[in-house]
Amino acid sequence: MKKLSWQYKLRNFTSVDIGVFEKYFEDMPYDPYVKGNFRKRRFSSIKKDHYGNFEILPHKTFTQSAKINDLLGDVVREYEEINEDLIYSEHFSKIVEGFSVLAGVNPYITEIGIHQMRILCSEYIKGEPAPEGRHKDGFDVIGIFCVRRVKVKGGVSELFVEKEDEKPILKKTLSQNELLVVNDREVFHNATKLVPVDMELGYRDVFVFTA
């Protein structure tokens, strides 16, 4: 992929009905690779077929180099697939199309990874959207789409040119329906800890795209 001339892009997808996703987050399995039962996760990969439709690719594991991920580097991770009805839904397709356009990705050629995640927090659960801290994911671009925030504060998205920079180039609490696309080759990203409102159980639902 050619060198990108931008660091990040931010868009609001007001035409997407996030309500259709709610049931698909209710039966999420816990991520077995992090301690504390604060993250639920599914993973699938997609690409467009000759007819212009997104198709789910054969099941695969997910691995990041230890040079990229200080917490789970070189660990071969196995996650359950995302529900097919969710991926093939009209509203999800709008998000993926939007990510492809903003990121400059050709979905006929480039495989797009989809990470469906729910981060939980309460008085007893630490909600860490990015337990590895400031990092890159090892791709050309990533996208973070906020589906829902329920009874939580925090979870602020931060972008840094250098990992040790004091000030971020972006500090933004993503609202529902907002998509943040990041140049993963040039920018480090992070999300701050989630804090429960009134100590009740809260959560933040997101789709993370990688390409």
Q: Which of 68, 196, 51, 75 is nearest to 136 (CA)?
A: 68
SS3 (DSSP) at 204: strand
Give the pLDDT confidence score for residue 69 in this predicted structure.
54
Sign of CA dihedral 128, 171, 64, 22: positive
Alpha-carbon gap, residue 130 to 132, rounded angstroms: 5
Give the pLDDT confidence score for residue 74 in this predicted structure.
53
Give the pLDDT confidence score for residue 75 in this predicted structure.
66
Give yes or no for a contact between 77 and 131, defined as CB atoms under 8 angstroms apart: no
Tell me the per-residue pLDDT of 156-188, one tens digit each, with 9 for 90 and over: 999 999 999 999 999 999 999 999 999 999 999
Q: Across the chain, what does the average pLDDT equal? A: 91
Give yes or no for a contact between 142 and 181, defined as CB atoms under 8 angstroms apart: yes
Structure tokens at 13: 């997808």
Tell me the per-residue pLDDT of 100-146, one tens digit each, with 9 for 90 and over: 999 999 999 999 999 999 999 998 888 888 888 899 999 999 999 99
Tell me the per-residue pLDDT of 51-103, one tens digit each, with 9 for 90 and over: 998 999 998 877 665 566 555 555 677 899 999 999 999 999 999 999 999 99
Neighbour-count burial for 132-145, b at 16+ CB within 10 Å, e otherwise:
bebbbbbbbbbbbb
